[in-house]
């Protein structure tokens, strides 16, 4: 790589040592994707058979989940009652990762890691903690009360329901201010797609966005078609009048 352009500031040369000291600041942003706990449905009407946890990649590049894990913490004694190893999976930039126990009950499930129902405790309080491959807590959520150190300033004010279809969702989708009470609210169930405020089941199959060049081509094709139709109509009208 030619570093000449980086070694001049306002025409004054700086040393390689100074450049190397600055380089972490220049290139650290965006290197590690920010994976967050984005949506959690831990309680459903009747039997809890459609539980899921959704992660979201807020970063600008694909991230390997090798070495990542998700701990589920029991609020009664602050002990881990379940650990989910996420190794072997990748998350695309702006992508979702859904963890469930039954793919027939949860749309867009990427990892059906168990055949058990009721695998997420229903709170009062309980917590989730996401660890990266260096075993640092990158995100956490306590619900139905404070469970330190997983609360992130203040626990979620609302709670999941066993009488209506709803869950805990980051709203707006993926927003993370590191304050759980601000970032989470009741949401419509949307595993694998963007979160929606409200209640009910809004599950849908993932829809791939049309790339920009293709979208432009489709728009151009559509306009060309309309122009062609208009030209044919004018031609027919002219023939009739003749």
Report, as an integer, the average pLDDT of 164-171.
Answer: 96
Q: Dig out the tokens for 62 from the structure.
A: 């694909």
CA dihedral 221→222→228→231, nearest 10 degrees, is: -140
Contact 98, 120 (CB under 8 A): no
Instruction: Report, as an integer, the average pLDDT of 84-93.
Output: 97
Closest CA to 169 of 36, 69, 63: 36
| Per-residue pLDDT, 208 | 54
pLDDT greater at residue 137 or residue 215: 137
Q: How does the average pLDDT of the chain come out, rounded? A: 80
The CA-based diameter of the chain, rounded to the nearest angstrom, is 92
Asked if pLDDT for residue 45 goes beyond 90, the answer is yes
Element (H, E) at 70: strand 69-74
pLDDT of residue 207: 63
Least confident of 24-33, 96-105, 126-135: 24-33
Omega prior to 212 cis, within 30 of 0? no
What pLDDT is recorded for position 206?
A: 82
Task: Output the CA angle 173-178-180, nearest 5 degrees.
Answer: 70
Contact predicate 135/6, CB 8 Å: no
Q: Tell me: the pLDDT tens digits for 195-240?
A: 999 999 999 998 654 444 444 434 444 444 444 445 444 444 444 3
How far apart CA 48 and CA 100 sit, in angstroms, is: 11
Q: Where are the domains of the chain?
A: 1-31, 35-197, 211-242
Fold of 35-197: Immunoglobulin-like (2.60.40)
The enclosing H or E element of 180 equals helix 180-183
Per-residue pLDDT of 53-78, as tens digits, reads 999 999 999 999 999 999 999 999 99
């Amino acid at each position: 790589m030619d570093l000449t352009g980086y070694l001049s500031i306002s025409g004054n040369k700086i040393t390689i040592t100074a450049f190397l000291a600055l380089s972490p600041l220049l290139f650290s942003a965006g290197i590690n994707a920010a994976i967050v706990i984005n949506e959690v449905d831990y309680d459903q009407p009747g039997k809890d058979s459609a539980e899921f946890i959704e992660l979201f990649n807020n970063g600008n590049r694909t991230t390997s989940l090798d070495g990542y894990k998700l701990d589920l913490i029991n609020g009664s004694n602050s002990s881990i009652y379940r650990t989910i190893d996420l190794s072997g999976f990748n998350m695309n930039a702006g992508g979702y990762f859904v963890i469930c126990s039954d793919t027939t009950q949860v749309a867009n499930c990427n990892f059906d890691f168990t055949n058990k129902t009721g695998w997420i405790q229903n709170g009062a309080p309980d917590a989730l903690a996401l660890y990266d491959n260096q075993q640092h807590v990158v995100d956490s959520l306590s619900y139905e009360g404070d469970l330190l150190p997983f609360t992130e300033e203040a626990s979620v004010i609302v709670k999941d329901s066993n009488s209506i279809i709803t869950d805990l969702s980051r709203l707006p989708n993926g927003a993370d201010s590191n304050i759980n009470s601000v970032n989470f609210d009741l949401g419509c169930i949307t595993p694998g797609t963007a979160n929606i405020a409200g209640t009910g089941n809004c599950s849908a199959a993932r829809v791939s966005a049309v790339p920009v060049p293709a979208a432009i081509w489709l728009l151009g094709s559509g306009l060309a078609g309309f122009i062609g139709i208009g030209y044919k109509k004018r031609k027919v009208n002219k023939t009739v009048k003749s």
